[in-house]
Amino acid sequence: MTSLWHGPRGRWAKCFRKGRGGPAGDRAALRVPDRGLDASDQGRGLNAGLRATARNALILSAGPVVLSVGLGLLLAAVAVRALGTSPSEFYSRLFTGTLGSVYGFSQVLFKATPLLFTGLAVATAFRARLFNIGAEGQMVVGGFAMAWVGFAGPVLPIPLGLLLALAAGAFAGAAWGAIPGLIRARTGGSEVIVTIMLNFIAVALVNWLLVTRFALPETVRTAEVHASAWLPRFSDHVGALRGSPLNGALGLGILLAVVLHVVLGRTVFGFSLRVLGEGATQARYAGLPVGRLIVQAMLLSGALAGLAGSSFILGYKRYYEGDFSSGAGFTGIAVALLARNRPLFLIPSAIFFGVLSYGGLVVNSIVPRELLEVLQAVILLLFIVFDRLLQRLPLRPRWGQAPSGDPAVPATGETP
């Protein structure tokens, strides 16, 4: 379980869990590869051991990604052939249509933008081993809030109107995310179920607001937001992008990915989340305020998901419309997994899913576009299976498997 959220970084957790010293175990681990060398080779052996460890770590973290994407694309080729189309034509259409032209690629980036936000949201929660399946609902609530501030709020000078709308989206998403956080922290109720339930509640609530007050007559959309809250459309400035919905939300997403890379990787808060992810008991021993961290993680996660609608609502259509999210909250889970919850890896991961998402339209004339929806699911399934299976390979130094007969390493096994 641990490895899924954190790649191959579970070692300190195991030290905590088994109540065994880390350093001794570390020495034992490093000794494994250089068994059989004499003392003079010790230094070189240690080096080789480190290199082997680094290589194994790479296999464990990148292996499932490569295998699941590779096998998934292979299976798709088999399916395409079974449908009576040539796989090479399918793939050449898929890739030239999505990556081969500026316009196509801009469409891919447009599809990738909300996925980047929801992926960041899911990854942030994953760090603390919290399962935010509620990105969808947080996105809906946040999207409605930013649209509402955008059309009903005050008309402000250019950057302020936009900032206010974004803040409203982040705030609403954070509030929606805090509910499962609070329930988890206070009562231990599963955030998985609570976030799923809140997705439905969010949709019903926003629908009620739309139907009773805010929808334009005969539609399921709101009024347009003020121009001061708009994110710029790139098509207004670059001729080659004419007709493309790509907009400034992409820049915001990339900026947030970089910020989160620092926050999650380089700050006390980010480290605390990771400790929490290793287990609440360990975190408590480390003196961390577990309940507060859970709520903070969910607040941050919800805020990120709340911003996911900015591309559609402030950049593309510039109004709120029912069903605008088109499942980005759920796809975000797959995006975060394939990026192994690393904020910067989320960018290529979101683009990959953007290719699959827009690619459906590109290949629709030769195979049903649903094939690519199925492919996304298959890749996700293959990923979780390979992730688990690779853990079973003898790649990771395992505590309790020190070379037998070595008196320097205490005998291991269940502590009595």
Residue numbers of the site for other proteins (CB under 8 A)?
1, 4, 83, 131, 133, 179, 183, 186-187, 189-190, 192-194, 196-198, 200-201, 204-205, 207-208, 211-212, 330, 333-334, 337, 368, 370-371, 373-374, 376-378, 380-381, 384-385, 387-389, 414
| Closest separation in Å from C-beta 125 to other proteins | 13
CA angle, residues 191, 343, 161, in degrees to nearest 5 = 85
Structure tokens at 259: 């910020």
Q: How far is the CB of 12 from other proteins (least distance, A)?
A: 18
- In the complex with other proteins, which residue's Cβ is closer, 344 or 384? 384
Least gap, CB of 306 to other proteins (angstroms): 19
In 131-278, which residue ranges form alpha helices assigned H by DSSP? 135-152, 158-187, 191-209, 249-266, 268-278
Residue 44 to residue 341: CA distance in whole angstroms: 34
Question: What's the CA gap between 326 and 362, in Å, rounded?
Answer: 18
What crossing angle do the helices spanning 249-266 and 346-363 adopt, rounded to 10°?
150
- Give the nearest distance from C-beta 196 to other proteins in angstroms: 6
CB of residue 145 to other proteins, shortest distance in Å: 17
Which candidate, 187, 186, 190, places its Cα nearest to that of 292? 186
Q: Which is nearer to other proteins, 17 or 221 (CB)?
A: 17
Nearest to other proteins of 95, 386 (CB atom): 386
Burial of 405 (0-12, 13-18, 19+ CB in 10 A): exposed
Judge contact between 325 and 140, C-beta under 8 A. yes
Please, what is the minimum distance in Å from the beta carbon of residue 397 to other proteins? 16
Distance between CA 3 and CA 85 in Å, rounded? 39
Distance CA(318)–CA(214), nearest Å, equals 15
Taking the complex as a whole, how short is the minimal distance between the CB of residue 329 and other proteins, in angstroms? 11
51 exposure class (CB count in 10 Å sphere: 0-12, 13-18, 19+): exposed
Q: Name the residue nearer to other proteins (CB basis): 135 or 246.
A: 135
292 or 388: CB nearest other proteins: 388
The percent helix, strand, coil of the chain (3-state, each to 5) is 70, 0, 25
Residue placing its CB nearer to other proteins in the complex, 83 or 411: 83
Q: Which is nearer to other proteins, 73 or 205 (CB)?
A: 205
